[in-house]
Amino acid sequence: MRGLRIIGAGWLLASAVVLAPAGQAANAEIRLARQYGLARLPLMIVEHERLIQKHAEAAGLTDVAVDWVAPEDGTSAIEQVLSGKVDIVAPDLTGLATMWDRSWGTAHEMRGLGALASTPYVLVSRNPAVKTIRDFTPKDRIAVPALKLTGPAVTLEMAAAQEWGQEHYDWLASITVARPPAEATTALLAGNAGIDAHFADAPWYDYELAQPQIHRVMDSFDIAGTHSSALLAAPKSFHDANPKLCAALLSALIEADTFIRNNPGEAAEIYVAMADDAQSSVEDLTDLLADPDATYTTTPAGVMRLTTFMQRIGRIKHRPESWKDLFFPEAHTLPGS
């Protein structure tokens, strides 16, 4: 296993506090979509340790109402924020780009507050003949969380464009299917459910690679370079009305990163308990937190490379001039890409 790095950003906190005007009301409310996964572990730590309340009080905001909204059946977290049911959501990078593009120029334009993690998606297969994506045949089926608008789906298209040319980015579309990660993992390991490859993030690929019949084909860092796998996003209207609260949230994330770095075993225990993950052991998750290809940081990574590709293939209309176009000013001092 390789070590998970947590990059502190104390100077981001300082800049965020400076930007927060004193006129915000003492009482405030924030509704966050409850989303679980190792890429969103900092947010889980924030909830478990009540870090928003801690940093909001330090900023002079008393009695802040923090509501963690559970997902609704058939409704994604992105749909929840776009419908006004939550204020804060944790999409992957392609999800942020899509929301930003669709709300561009409006009072509710979606932008990022900062990143949660940079972790790779790993493509695995149980077909021993598949060593690279060129080896897939019409008989194979590759599972991704959702088609076209998720990180695994877009980086698979990017891999196809690199292999067969830009105009053939959809070369693997006919054998790509949408499956929730848990369902795809079960099908892949069963070996008789029509899925023989899966492109997903941790801990799913770790479960799969623990089985001798499963092997690694590639990961998204091979294709797109280091990229953020989860970020925090909010509508511009919420951000502008609640600058102190947004600054407190960033402070909470920075403390959560430090917590994971200093207490990986306890962070793994919190993940297992909150995600109700009976499949994972604390020991295995602690090992995953030692993966050097993954970093818990508020610094956005890989934004321009992925969004440029998405714009080229028509997935988004607007091409950002800089990664900063997708983020609020509090993040602009970070060394993003």
141-185: pLDDT as tens digits: 999 999 998 999 999 999 999 999 999 999 999 999 999 999 999
147 assigned to some structural domain: yes
Angle at which helices 264-275 and 243-262 cross, to 10° = 120
pLDDT tens-digit readout, 10-43: 333 333 333 334 445 445 899 999 999 999 999 9
Q: Which of 177, 207, 224 is the last residue of a domain?
A: 224
CATH number at residue 248: 3.40.190.10
Domain count of the chain?
2
The count of other CB atoms within 10 Å of the CB of residue 68 is 17
Given a cut of 60, whether residue 6 has pLDDT beyond it is: no
What is the predicted pLDDT for the residue at 3?
43
Supply the range of the domain harboring residue 19. 5-118+227-331
Tokens of residue 335, six digits: 């060394």
Q: Convert 31-59 to b/e letters by CB count within 10 Å (16 or more is b).
A: bbbbbbbbbbbbbbbbbbeebbbebbeeb
C-alpha angle 319/325/328, rounded to 5°?
155
83 assigned to some structural domain: yes
Residues 132 and 85 in one domain: no
What is the predicted pLDDT for the residue at 79?
80
> Could you give phi then psi for residue 258, rounded to 5 degrees?
-65, -40
Gap between the Cα atoms of 289 and 300, Å rounded = 19
Whether pTM > 0.85 for this model: the answer is yes
Q: Which of 229, 327, 300, 260 is nearest to 51 (CA)?
A: 260
Given a cut of 60, whether residue 226 has pLDDT beyond it is: yes
